[in-house]
Amino acid sequence: MAILPIIVAPDPRLKLVSRPVDKVDAAVARLMDDMLETMYAAPGIGLAAPQVSVPMRVIVVDIARKDKGEEPISLKMANPQLIATSEEVKSWDEGCLSLPEHYAEVVRPSRATVRYLDENNKRREVEADGVLAVCLQHEMDHLDGIIFVDHVSMLKRNMILRKLRKAKKLGTLAAE
């Protein structure tokens, strides 16, 4: 396994629409493992392939609180698809490994059903609520070139992106 460099916004590679995976073969499974290792090292609870410069529809998620002694429950997904969402919405203070140290309230459906291919190329479905529902929707957004600040006001988005641009220029990013 390997830890991959994570792209920090603003970056045109985070705006690409990623391509579907034909089949989860050994190379895709290895990418999933590398992404999971990268995510745990960061640390984070979700990561999408475009964040590590791979424009493919692959995400990994693990919402277990290891700081509270919870066992890891990793999800590795190719071609995740939102097949149902609740009408009920919830606001969550979201963050992202590509926007280190910045957070904003984002409103999303509070429950979501996601269909995907697992690391063995098996078709699966997960019904999520709470932080898992938020995280899955956030990671799937990345596959369509959307980051969480695209869901907030232009004022707030520009402020965050301006600070990140400045931090990148100065080399003071915590993630680096």
Just list the catalytic residues: 139
The yes or no reply on residue 8 touching Ni ion (CB under 5 A) is: no
Shortest distance, position 111 Cβ to Ni ion, whole Å: 20
In the bound complex, which residue of the shown chain has the CB atom lying closest to Ni ion?
A: 96
User: Which residues does 50 contact at the CB level (< 8 Å), separation at least 6?
Assistant: 7, 13, 14, 16, 18, 56, 142, 143, 145
Spatial separation of the C-alpha atoms in residues 131 and 144, rounded to whole Å: 21
Contacts with 159 (C-beta within 8 Å, 6 or more apart), sequence order: none
* 20: number of Cβ within 10 Å: 12
Told to check if 140 binds Ni ion by CB under 5 A, we report no
- Supply 7's token pair: 């792209």
- Residue closer to Ni ion, measured from CB, 27 or 91: 91
Which region, judged by CB under 5 A, interacts with Ni ion, from 76-84, 96-104, 106-114, 154-162? Answer: 96-104
Q: Is 32 a binder of Ni ion (CB under 5 A)?
A: no
164 is a contact residue toward Ni ion (CB under 5 A)? no
Smallest distance from Ni ion to CB 26, Å: 26
The CA distance from 176 to 162, in Å, is: 18
By beta-carbon proximity to Ni ion, the closer residue of 96 and 106 is 96
Instruction: Determine, following the binding rule CB under 5 A, whether residue 6 of this chain makes contact with Ni ion.
Output: no
75: β partners: 61
Q: Encode 98-121: b = buried (16+ Cβ within 10 Å), e = exposed.
A: bbbebebebebbbbbbbebbbbee
| Least distance to Ni ion, CB of residue 170, Å | 22
59 binds Ni ion (CB under 5 A): no
Instruction: Determine if 96 is a binding residue for Ni ion (CB under 5 A).
Output: yes
Nearer Cβ to Ni ion (121/168): 168
Residue ranges in contact with Ni ion by CB under 5 A: 96
